[in-house]
Amino acid sequence: MQKIGVTVFGNVLDKHPIDAWGIDSAVASKISTRLSPRFDVRRIDYPVGTFLPVEQVKSVLSSDYKDHRAEIRDIARNITASQRCDLCIVVTKSSSMYSNTNQAISGLGILDNSNLLFENVFLFAIWEMRVFDGKTFEVLAHKRATSQDPPLMAAIRGPYRKVDKTWLPAPGQVAQSARLRNATAELVAQSLDPVVTELFTIR
């Protein structure tokens, strides 16, 4: 849950574990369903926290911003070291600038940017997919999930949905909110189809 205020002193970022929502499993299942007519697809499990080193919520304008493409490749290579696969698909959270601010948002969440005049609350799911060659780990394809809004009109550069303040959970109740869980899962699922279609279309 994130709040972007009028000034930097109003900015708040609270992280909450939502593993129980099963988003990762749902993504893997949907990819498998879409690709199984052409590929033998299986999910490869990995220890919790494996991708923690590449997770960040920083503006690209930040002095310590870092591009983690090489680290993601190396993590994928290590995870699949004992496997034999032609392709390796990696879905990770990504980040976006919010509107015309210098504030970044990342992954799955709900953002409150309301003020005295306007109510601005957004549910978002910002992620990207990479397809690696299973032997060389060259990146064969890469795509960020996008918003349905035109780029110049999108408040968030990624899948999002405008909601209202009734969606903001009580402190400590994010993971318990069935409303947030279901809407987030739907947002991810809707944005997954076009990405898989584009990356795996035979040209």
According to DSSP, the residues that pair with 127 across neighbouring strands are 93
Sequence-ordered list of residues with C-beta below 8 angstroms from that of 118, at least 6 positions apart, any chain = none
- Domain count for the chain: 1
What residues make up the domain containing 164?
A: 2-199
pTM: 0.86
The 10s digit of each residue's pLDDT in 151-180 is 667 889 899 999 999 999 988 889 999 999
> What is the SS3 assignment for 95?
strand
Cα distance between the two ends of the chain: 40
Flag whether pLDDT at 114 surpasses 90: no
Mean pLDDT in residue range 22-36:
94
Split at pLDDT 50, 70, 90, the class of 124 is very high
